[in-house]
Every structure is written in structure tokens, then in C-alpha cells.
Chains A and B, each alone.
Chain A
Amino acid sequence: MPSPPPELLVSYRPANFQERGLAVPFTAPALAGARVRLGGREAGGFEVILPNPSGSRGVYIMPWAAARDTFRPSVHDHLLATALGAMADFTPASLRRAAHAVAAGGAAGRVARRAAEAAMAAERKHVLQTHFHLLLGLIRATEPPGAHPLPPEREEQAKLERRAGAAVLHLARTLATTTATIAGWIEALATLFAPVGVGPSAQEAFLPRLLAALTRFSKDVEDRGRTGGEAFTPARLLARHAATTATFTRAALAAAAALLADPFALARMWQTDRAAVAAAVVRTDWLLDGWAQVLVLWQNAAGGEQTVLDEILRIVPHLPTDVLGDQTSEDETLPLAPRRKAAAFRPMTCAGGILARNEALRALSLGTLAA
């Protein structure tokens, strides 16, 4: 039975990140800028949140089954939806991994496939680096001062392994658990903290790089707003919104990184309240979720900044009310995208061309992550 037509929810102010949903890189033209969140009547189902295509305020919220019937998803989107249904948790990192895997399977084309493979390789490298630095931190925290002539980061491989083994044993005894459990925790924490970054190359991790790009975007857009004339007036408001998001993110990133300062405290917290550790890390990811698509659009505007600005205003991630607290609602600060008129205009652009553009942007977005 066909799904009923989706209804427009004019006043939409998500209370929290879960309600805002995850930015999902669907490639079908009608699904561009979509978000997904848990919910819907089907078991394990999820809902799709689509910005009002007319550019006016509001969103459409519908179960995936209705979106599938109404908006003709691409093959890539079908496969990604299947992967979303199988995700253990609905977090930006989980969706990123699922989306990488689908793109690496070639569903968004060969260019996106290579970019996804590179992004996955970069992620594996960051997990390994984080794992290594977590061990170094643990060694430093367990060894008494002057116990070894060399600091762990300058130690030769075999000796370092012995020192790491001793540190893991010490932590296991302290927390009354096994070394295998501690090794498992370190592995899990390395995966969790890899996007945050740790050690001397922390700024190369995914979230610090995205935050740096968001900060640059904010400045760039503000400059454009100042010099671009009346047409770029919304740019200044957008720049302010990006700067606000960057400020929240910087604080969240610092809080997540601070957890790594004391490996014993972190391990104790992980032992007793794993969700609290995860929440501290995931908050940064949630804050930046959806900005990668915005940044790629802006970076590839190639002289068409005004058109891209309109596109960005449709998909720009709004901050939930539980983040903004007492600050001014974004409904009052963010401008609307100009409304689109269809009545007098017959589009000549082929849907296949828009799909190809979305796939190219997807590849660029993946390439940015892998860089």
C-alpha cells in the first residue's frame, strides 16, 4: 500500500541531538540534505527529516518506508538505508562508518569508492595512533619517576611492549579485573577517541580538522558577507551561527581531550559508566554533524557562492535547544533560504545530472576526511 503523503512540520526546533537526527549523505536529488533519527512504527526503523524543498521554514518527517516510496532513493541510498537499519547505535561515528562501507562498495561511483577506501584507511591509522598514545599515557601514569632511562615514546619496540604489559597488569590489578579486559578497553577507547585525536598529531584527527575547517568557513563567509553586497547579507548571520557552533565544539573537544589526561580515572569511569565517557566524546561529533556537507559545498562553489549560500541555508545544522540553553533561538538568528518558485518555470536539468553532482560532492567530502 502506498505511503500517505508526508506532512510539513512548519515549526521545528529539535530539543536535543537525537531529535535533530544524523546528517545522512543520501545522493538522490530529492533526499539531499536529509537527516535520519531512530523512530517510526517499524521495528528497528528510522525516520527521515527533510528540509522543506521550497526553501521556506519547516521540515518533513516521515518513516523511511514513506521516503523510499515518495522520493526515489538511489541504489546507494537503498544500500545505506539497509546499513542504517543494522547500526548498533545511532551516532555520527556509526553512521560515518556505515556510509564509508557503502561508498567503498562502489555504490556512489568509482571516485567515491576510492575516496571512501582512503577515508577508511585514514580512520584505521588514527585508531592505531590513538591506541599507541593511550598505552604511552598508561605507561607514564603507572611507572614511578626515573624507573626507566628513556621515556616510553623513545623506547625500542621490545622493551616498550614489556613496559606496556606491566602497565596493563598494574591497571588490571588496581581495578580488580583481567589484563585481557584492560586490553579490550584500550581498544574500545582507541576507536572512540580516534576522531578526537591524542598525542602530538591530535590536530590531524577528524574532529579537530573539521573544527578548524568550520572556523575558517566562519571567517570566510563573514568576509564574503562584508564585501559581497546586499545579496550576501545572510552570509554574516550564517557566519555567526558557524562561529557559535565552533565555540561549543571547542569546549566539547577540550572536555573530551581532558578525559585522556588521567588514564586511571578514565579507566575507572569506563568501568562504571561507559555511557558517560562515550557521551563526552560523541557530543563533539554531534555538534559538528552535518557541517562536512556544508563545508564541501562552500569549498566547491567556484564563483557561485550566492547559489551555494542558498543551498547551505537549507541544510545548515541547527543547534538543539538543550545546547543553546538561554542563548537566542536560531529561528531568530539564521536567515531563511530564498523561496523557490516552480509555477512559471520548467526545469531543464536532468535528474541524473543532479545525482552525479551529489555523488561528486560525496567523493569530495570523503576525500576531505581522508586528507
Chain B
Amino acid sequence: MSGGVSTIGPAEIKALRRLLVDARADQITRVVAMIDSLPERGEADDLLTPFRARLAEINPPRPLNFPRLLFIPIDPLIVPGPRWRRGTLGVPRTVLTPLARHVGRALAEDATAIEAMIAGRSVADRAVIHAAGAKLWPAAARVLTSASPPPDWQDATGLPVSDHAAIAGAIAVLLAQAVPIQRLVDGLSGGEAPDDAEMALRAILASAAERGSQALAVMIALLMNRLPSFSRLPELAREIAAAQDKDGRMAAERATEHTLESLANSPAIALAANGTGGLVHAAETIAHATTLLTGLAEQSAARPDRQLLIDELRRSIDRACRDSFSLLLERHLLAPLASLATVDDDTITGLEAVARDLRAFEQASRQAGSGELYDRILRDAGKRIAATALPRIDRMRLVEILNNSDTALALLGARPS
């Protein structure tokens, strides 16, 4: 593990905080890169806390380091330190640095080898994350299961020593299953569930349930985020817990509450819907949220209060998305098409990629409502594309991507018999 102390003092931190209040995206990116390069982030890390929402929006490239790799599997559960409450299912961000340091020291040479594997890589290097993570996460789980609080726990986290066991224990349960969870996420990335997916999920839940209902609740909350497509997750958890004479119902309820609260409090969806983090990020974020909400709604049929909350969340996502979709469509596709000077391969391929991302955004967004509005917007866009001077086949393909093949053929060519 890297040692040393922060090379950035309180005066500089104060100055940087002032700068960041009104900073542009590129300035924030530079500050983040500077903090990422510090051997010991210390107080400098706190600088980022008020700007995490903007960070999600800007999405700057983040280098892969030991603490980041260690906690990637539990990222959806990490909450800002001040927002964390005892007994909830989140993990306070303030515990990450001392725990990572502790794991690094315990793993000694293994940690050095893992650091060598990830040197110079970024959080976008998924293959490296999977390979290095497969070595780190199970080992870290073993360390954290039996770990005593590190000496600097209270100073670094602001939490009493008595909180350590519950937090480290919960993280250990999650990290112990990080590799099988990642395998499931990868298996589902193609859009279909392998036959053995449910069996794998049962094994993951059973292993958490063995550690008690708090561990099970934390695991369900994590899985809801990582695998939003599995709508039967709470039901499955109840079944598994019942087999172990544990209260799975309560664990599933707590996980659902936590997930809904996180969705309600997270600025990520509204920011993503603006499109400033890119269309792909927007589509993925919205698809994740709407898929999750649809599953939770199915599981909450007997809970009118929860249904109301889910409906309200859906409406707020719907508002954010429908307000921005027309603007994004105009800005990213229709306006560039109208002023197109050349129709070379790269330009057309690029516009098709944009159209595909917009369609993914729309398909995710319509899960929250306003289906007819999107239909109308896309129909109008198709007509405008059909009327441009592009070669006919390029117009057909763009209309096909934004609408469907029938509309493309109806607007631009007779349907073959």
C-alpha cells in the first residue's frame, strides 16, 4: 500500500473549496485529478463531498486505485458520511479510506501485487477490475470479517468504535459475494437470463442470510441496485430466509425502503436526464431506475403507501425525461442533420449512434410514463428526417432507428410484398 501524508494543506483546501463553488466542468475535472493523484487523500477527499452530484454529471475519468477497486462492488450503497444513520443499510463514505488502509496492510504483498495489476488503469477498464477484483474482494472479505477497528477509526470517520463491527461486517458479507454477483451482472448484460441465474442468486442470498437479517437486508439492497431486472428478488429472499428460520420479509422490506429512499434522494436521475453526462449515461441511468421501480411496484401490490411513493418517483422521472428529450433530440440529431455539410461514412455512422442512444433514452423514459408524447415526438422527427436531402437509405435507417422499420418503409419506400 502507498504511504505518506497529504501534500495539500488546510489553506489550499479552503481555497479550492471556494474555487469549486462556481467551477466549470473542466476545472472540477482538474481538481478531481489532483486529488486522485494524492498518495493520501485525507481532508482533501472531503472537498468532493458537496460536488459528488456534479461529479456524476461531469463523469470525469477516474484512475483505478486500491480503495476504489476494493469498494467498486458496494458502490450503490455508499452514502455521504453526514447522511449516514446507524441501523440503515448504507455504507458511510468516511469509512472507506481507513478500511482500505487496514485491508491493504493485512494483505501486505498480495495488496502490492494487486496494486501492480491496476497501476495506470482507470475505472473504465472493466477487464482489469474483474481480474484484480477476483483476487482482492474475497481476500478483503476475510480480513474485514474478523477485523478490529483500526486505531484511527474514530478520527478518520467521526464514528464511535462500536460502529466498526456492524459496518465492516456488512461490507465483508457483500465483498465475499462480489465475484458471483459480478458474474451474474455479466451474464445478464446480453439481455437474457441464463438458466442457472436464479440458482446463483439463491446461493448469494443464502450466504448473506446465514449472517443474520441485517446482512441479508444489505445484500438485497445491493442486489436491487446491481440486478434491477430481477423483479422476484424480495420474494426469493423471503423464501430463502424462511428456510433458515430468519425473517426475510423484514429484510426485504428494509431493502426496498432503502432503495426507494436512495432513488428519491439521488440527484443522479435528474442530472442524467439533462443529458450532460452523455446520452448513453442518461439512457442507462434512467433504464436502471425505471426497471427497478417497475419491479418494486410489482412487489408492492399490497402496500398502497409504497405504491404512492413509487408513483411519485415515476412521475418525477417522467417530468425530468420528457422535458429534456425533445431538446436532446433537437440538439444532438435534428439540428446537426439540418446543417450537415458532408455525408461521409463517419458522419452518418456517428449520427446513427446518436439516434440509437436517443432511442434507448426514450425507451427507458417511457417506462415512467408519457408514452404517447414520445410516440408523437418520434413520429415528427421521422418525418423531418425523411424530408432531408440525405441519401434515401441513410434516411430510412435513421427513421428505422428512431421509430421502426415499418415507419421507415411507409415514409420512404413501399413495403415489399
Contacts and interface: CB of A to CB of B under 8 A. Distances in A.
Contacts of A82: 416
Contacts of B4: none
Interface in B294-332: 294-295
Nearest to A356: B356
Nearest to B191: A349
B53 to A, nearest CB: 24
Nearest to B402: A352
A109 to B, nearest CB: 7
B247 interface: no
A88 interface: no
Contact of A344 (B231, B348, B391, B393): B231
- B194, B295, B360, B404: most-surrounded residue (chain A CB, <10 A): B194
B195 A338 contact: yes
Interface residues of B, number: 48
A15 to B, nearest CB: 30
Interface in B183-211: 186-198
Interface string B356-390: 10011001100000000000000000000000000
A344 B198 contact: yes
Contacts of B195: 55, 338-341
B348 to A, nearest CB: 5
A74 B191 contact: no
B133 interface: no
Contact of A348 (B191, B194, B197, B359): B191
A111 B127 contact: no
A74 B405 contact: yes
B55 interface: no
B78 interface: no
B246 interface: no
- B198, B359, B405: most-surrounded residue (chain A CB, <10 A): B405
Contact of A340 (B194, B294, B363): B194
A75 B360 contact: no
A352 B397 CA distance: 11
Contacts of B391: 106
B35 to A, nearest CB: 32
B405 A354 contact: no
B331 to A, nearest CB: 20
A345 B405 contact: no
Interface in A82-129: 82, 85, 105-107, 109-111, 113-114
A354 B356 CA distance: 11
Closest 4 CB pairs of A and B: A349-B191, A345-B193, A106-B393, A110-B345
Given A349-B191, A354-B191, 14 more contacts: A77-B405, A81-B416, A107-B396, A113-B345, A303-B127, A307-B187, A338-B195, A340-B194, A344-B231, A345-B193, A345-B229, A346-B231, A348-B191, A353-B356
Interface of A: 28, 55, 72-75, 77-79, 81-82, 85, 105-107, 109-111, 113-114, 303-304, 307, 310, 338-342, 344-350, 352-354, 356
Interface of B: 127, 186-198, 228-232, 283, 287-288, 291, 294-295, 345, 348-349, 352, 356, 359-360, 363-364, 391, 393-394, 396-397, 400-401, 404-406, 408-409, 415-416
